[in-house]
Structure 1
Amino acid sequence: MGRDDLYITVTSFFRCPISLDVMKSPVSLCTGVTYDRTSIQRWLDSGNNTCPVTMQVLQSKEFVPNRNLQRLIQIWSDSVARRQLDSEPAANAVVVPSQDQVKVLVKQLDNNCFSSLTKIVCFAKESEDNREFLARMDGFLNVVFDFMRNAESDIKLIEQVIKILDLMQRKILDKKPLLESNCLSTILLVLQRGSSDSEIQSVRLLESVAVDGESKLKIAEKEALLLELVKSLSKEKDPRLIEASLSCLIVITVAKRVKTKLIQSRIIPELKNLLSEPNMTVSIIEKSLKLLETLSSCKEGRVEIWRDTILLKAIVQKVLKVSSKATEHAVTILWSVCYLFRDEKAQEAVVSSNGMTKFLLLIQSNCSPAVRQMSADLLKIFRVNSKSCLSSYDTKTTHIMPF
């Protein structure tokens, strides 16, 4: 099926049977019927135990992401967006300057900065060859770095500089100037006052310069910058910014002191909010769990996690429900808190959230050996501390014994 065919009409299987809207996150029940995740979760949370379409009593309330349908919906959505873009009038279209014109624009940067930078951004966007041309131009990157160092309060001008640097990330061989205090302060200014697109570009730029332990620490040591990255995780923010910030934080959160600073900056409650939000993308959930897994490797992180039963339940809920990556991260967090740290309150929260059943299913599944071993370890702990019928379950068996 071509993209143009998908654009012609919204087929019925793109729509949720409950809301009748195009599904954002299609998931299938055990009956085989697919719904939007938010709609079916609301139906189940209301106490219903039937499939809304077939009215069959559900043998299991677990649902599985329908990846094929999600891809088809994305193709259709992209097609609609492209048609709308093509239909817009080109009256305001910016003419891409030639290479000779760009040379002149670079020389004029001191006199007409904003106009010249805007045209250079347009040139850089056009092609990889154009970005290569700018990177080879003698002195161009030095001029751009000077703008970063000497930035004042003109946020619009700074945003153009950030756009150029973001476009040319792969062409900048020496990124050390971006780690200078003045440059990091400029990035901080964009995160505080810039547009959503500029914030995303700034965060991507930060991640691109965090290439070794020293550069990661330099970024983390600027506490105001770290705090803005944490604020960017608010679920009210642009999902693209949330995802970019999570990726950046995962990269720089290596040293123990960085983990401690993040925990003190209240990052764990923000991650809890993301995991509790039903409409978050698979990628955001995976990255949130990955960052939590990193934070759980230090004592302060584990303490924050086991103290929050709502967070623990949200982590258990993601096991076998989002993706294999999400499951691996979630199980590692639970293993770290419940098995290594051995907190009984945390263990009770996991058991009450149907965690034992999920670990049993994981042992029987095709998951990685590491996840299977961690699941077995957790079941042994629960077997010791529980009087349930699972106390006689042998984790070495290859099947689930009937109750």
Structure 2
Amino acid sequence: MISNWRKRRASRRAGKTQKQPGGQLDMEVTIPTHFRCPISLELMKDPVTLSTGITYDRESIERWIESGNQTCPVTNKVLTSFEPTPNHAIRKMIQDWCVKNRSLGIERIPTPRIPVTPVEVLELLSRITDAAWRGDQSGCGELVAKIKRLGKENERNKRCIVGNGAGRVLAAAFDAFAAASFEKNVAALEKILSAMPWMLPLDSEAQSYLASPASLRCMVWFLNSGSLSGRQNAVLVLKELLSSDQKHVSLLAEIEGANQALVKLIKEPICPTATKASLVAIFQMVSPSNLSSSDRIKSGFVEMGLVSLLLDILVDSDKSLCEKALGVLDGLCSCQEAREKAYSNALTMPVLVKKILRISDLATEFSVSILWKLCKNRNPDEGSIVIEALQVGAFQKLLLLLQVGCGEGTKEKATELLKLLNLYRGKLECIDSTDFKDLKRPF
């Protein structure tokens, strides 16, 4: 079967169509059958040959094999090897054909880079391990840089590197240099840390290396004193550790300056990715579901001004950032100090009510939970917080929430809030919850 490419001449760039000598507007270019991939039927850009002798485009045949197939698509024979061999002869013929038809708009395919093999990856990782245990900072840094270059070339290389245990080896090397002296090995540690984010998620062995006291202290040092990229990479790895195992939360909490460093990334943001990662890390530390979470940890975050920072974020942020900020605020409001800060902030009620049914189901769930904690735990003789909630339209929002539906836990809290708010209805007129212009921020 032969497919045709209809290519306009180079003059199409100017918006005009030139006639060919034969008087036709378009020139039909026929692709030779042996230049086309049997799977995609497109011109092969990186021809490779299987053990059955059939040539395919690398991307197509690798997708076929990764789907679980163990046979050759053309011959249906069982493959004796899943590692295709580059067909340089066919590739050179295709490139020559492209050059010959350049005047018809055919672009020459670039010479593909030969993908890294598992053997090469394992050799590099072995050398990294040796360099780490010898304390060879320079040699280890060069090898890690090579790993990164290979991974950036294409997704296949990245999968091969990660699939052969690179995350585990780099984590062990990081721990070894950190244990020796992270102040003296900053260069190697920073290069290793820069490669870790694209190897996530890590297996349990890699996590155990990164969760060691030496590694955690080193990452906290990067959060406080590292470069911008070093701070971002460190918080991404910490987020992975805290999200994967609750015991890592208590380990990090024992590191001096860890909590302050996480808050600093929110107070002085370097990029949205780092801010979100820091919020997720803090959420793991203050979440009600976290058994190791304590009022001492929450009070520490409150003293750093985190409640006001979160409310400021909630005024105008994207969906993802709002969800994370609300999650952290919900966790903090389980302690009295955080609630007192929230009571005294003029943004609290307007912002929380506005987020109900506005961002996402998760944001609504967190917003209702925070409102419930604030109203339920108020001073019985003081109804001002409930009145403020009524003023910004909380009653109407909660009624609408029950009508459209929500989770069972959120439904119970919304119902309890409505009963509480109903005691104060009729005393005050409601105002629009989106009207923030007359509110003054306390910072």
Match of 1:184 among 216, 228, 233: 216
Q: Secondary structure at the match of 2:182?
A: coil
Partner of 2:417: 378
Deviation track 1:169-200 (CA, whole Å, cap 9, x = no partner) reads 44443333333333222112221243444333
CA distance in 1, matches of 2:322, 2:170: 40
Partner of 2:232: 200
Partner of 2:300: 261
Q: Secondary structure at the match of 1:381?
A: helix
Match of 2:342 among 305, 309, 319: 305
CA contact (8 A) 2:265 2:278 kept: yes
CA distance in 2, matches of 1:168, 1:96: 16
The answer to whether the aligner puts 1:230 opposite 2:263 as a matched pair is: yes
What residue ranges of structure 1 are gaps of 5+ in the alignment?
1-89, 391-403
The amino acid that maps onto 2:147 is I
Matching of residues 34-183 of structure 1 within 5 Å: 98-99=120-121, 102=124, 105-106=127-128, 107=130, 110=136, 111-123=138-150, 126-135=157-166, 141-149=171-179, 150-152=181-183, 155-174=186-205, 175-183=207-215
Change (3 A) 1:298 1:108: closer
Change (3 A) 1:158 1:144: closer
Partner of 2:387: 348
CA contact (8 A) 2:193 2:233 kept: yes
Deviation track 1:91-124 (CA, whole Å, cap 9, x = no partner) reads xx9x969337615742456153432221133345
The amino acid that maps onto 2:144 is L
Partner of 1:357: 396
Match of 2:310 among 253, 259, 271: 271
Larger radius of gyration: 2
Change (3 A) 1:275 1:235: farther
CA distance in 1, matches of 2:167, 2:223: 29
Q: Which has the larger helix fraction?
A: 1
Deviation track 1:312-368 (CA, whole Å, cap 9, x = no partner) reads 221111112111111111011001111343552322221222222212222222223
CA contact (8 A) 1:315 1:330 kept: yes
RCO greater where, 1 or 2, for CA within 8 Å and sep 6 or more? 1
CA contact (8 A) 1:155 1:193 kept: no
The answer to whether the aligner puts 1:246 opposite 2:245 as a matched pair is: no
CA distance in 1, matches of 2:122, 2:399: 67
Q: Secondary structure at the match of 1:112?
A: helix
CA contact (8 A) 1:124 1:167 kept: no
Partner of 1:46: none
CA distance in 1, matches of 2:167, 2:301: 39
Match of 1:317 among 333, 354, 362: 354
CA distance in 2, matches of 1:375, 1:258: 28
Partner of 1:77: none
The amino acid that maps onto 1:292 is L
CA contact (8 A) 2:387 2:424 kept: no
CA contact (8 A) 1:306 1:345 kept: no
Change (3 A) 1:389 1:163: closer
What is the percentage of aligned positions where both structures have the same residue?
22
CA distance in 2, matches of 1:168, 1:161: 11
Change (3 A) 1:334 1:181: same
The amino acid that maps onto 2:266 is L
TM-score by length of 2: 0.59
Partner of 1:220: 253
Q: RMSD of aligned C-alpha atoms?
A: 3.1
What residue ranges of structure 2 are gaps of 5+ in the alignment?
1-109, 430-443
Q: Secondary structure at the match of 2:183?
A: coil
How many residues align? The count is: 296
The amino acid that maps onto 1:121 is K
Moved more, 299-308 or 328-337: 299-308
Partner of 1:366: 405
Moved over 6 A (4+): none
The amino acid that maps onto 1:190 is F
CA distance in 2, matches of 1:108, 1:365: 61
Change (3 A) 1:122 1:387: same
Q: How far off is 1:234 after superposition?
A: 2.8
Change (3 A) 1:374 1:208: same
